[in-house]
Amino acid sequence: MCQNRGVEVTWYGQTCVRLRGRDAVVVADAFQSVVGPTGRGITADIATYSHPDDAPLARAKGRRTRDGKTVLPSSLETTFTVDGPGEYEVKDVLLTGVRTYRDDAKGAERGRGTAFVVELDGLHTIHLGDVGHLLTEEKLGDIGSVDIACVPVGGALNATRAAELVAQLDPRIVVAMPVCANDADCAEALARFFHEMGGEPTPQPKLAVTISTLPQETTTVLLESRGKT
């Protein structure tokens, strides 16, 4: 039966990604600064936040994440929300939050983060947030095997180190998440990353994956942003 299940991956900009499975929907890093105060209609059963909002909207009101540092968009105010390490199970979705950092100095420069492994419809997806370092053997053990990796490009990790991080995780599919300040910087960062990974950064609207359609070799994908108006 698992062969018929699948996950649809959509990217909304920065590190905001939605995973739609057969029975549940998980959205990562749906910051108001990316999807707006109302969330632009994004709904989900589970919302994960890898780090606080980097550009919070002025006078934002509404429910906050558990750490109190991020205001949820109104469309996700009733959603089960996690923003730290731990193991969670919601609607038959298993999530593992693993402590990470947004720099290579254990958070001294840019703060801490959380990478989330989502087991949805038989597929294991890791959302790395804005991770800024390679992973230790202990962290890799906590993460386990990965089918899909959502990897930041243009942030604290340069293209070579981002490719090294992918090699550590050894996923079948890599979803590149450009996190640069502007389009020109992102274009350059993506070109370098895809050069390291092989292939060309050709955007596609969304990604649909099932266990039976996973590629044999690691394949890198760039998605069109749904967050841009």
How many alpha carbons lie under 13 Å from residue 48 in its C-beta half-sphere? Answer: 34
Gap between the Cα atoms of 58 and 108, Å rounded: 26
Write out the two tokens for 206. Answer: 């969304």
Inter-helix orientation angle 159-169/183-197, to 10°:
50
Gap between the Cα atoms of 122 and 192, Å rounded: 32
Q: What is the pLDDT of residue 30?
A: 98
Residue 61 has pLDDT above 90, yes or no: no
Gap between the Cα atoms of 153 and 15, Å rounded: 10
Q: What is the pLDDT of residue 1?
A: 38
Q: Which domains does the chain have, with CATH numbers?
A: 2-223 (3.60.15.10)
Chain-centroid distance, C-alpha 137: 21
190 close to 101: Cβ distance less than 8 angstroms: no
Q: What is the pLDDT of residue 2?
A: 42
Q: What is the pLDDT of residue 119?
A: 97
The mean pLDDT value of the chain amounts to: 94
Task: Report how many helices (DSSP H) and strands (DSSP E) the chain contains, helices first.
Answer: 4, 14
Contacts (Cβ under 8 Å, ≥6 apart) of 150 = 9, 15, 17, 28, 125, 126, 127, 128, 175, 177
Quote the Cα angle for 185-190-192, to 5°: 100
State the amino acid at position 100 in one-letter form: T
In the chain, pLDDT over 70 holds for what percent of residues? 97
Give the residue from 88, 53, 87, 46 showing the smallest Cα distance to 67: 53
The 10s digit of each residue's pLDDT in 105-154 is 999 999 999 999 999 999 999 999 999 999 999 999 999 999 999 999 99
- Lowest mean per-residue pLDDT among 4-18, 24-38, 81-95: 4-18
Gap between the Cα atoms of 19 and 135, Å rounded: 23
Q: What is the pLDDT of residue 216?
A: 94
Gap between the Cα atoms of 104 and 160, Å rounded: 15
Helix (H, G, I), strand (E, B) or coil at 119: strand
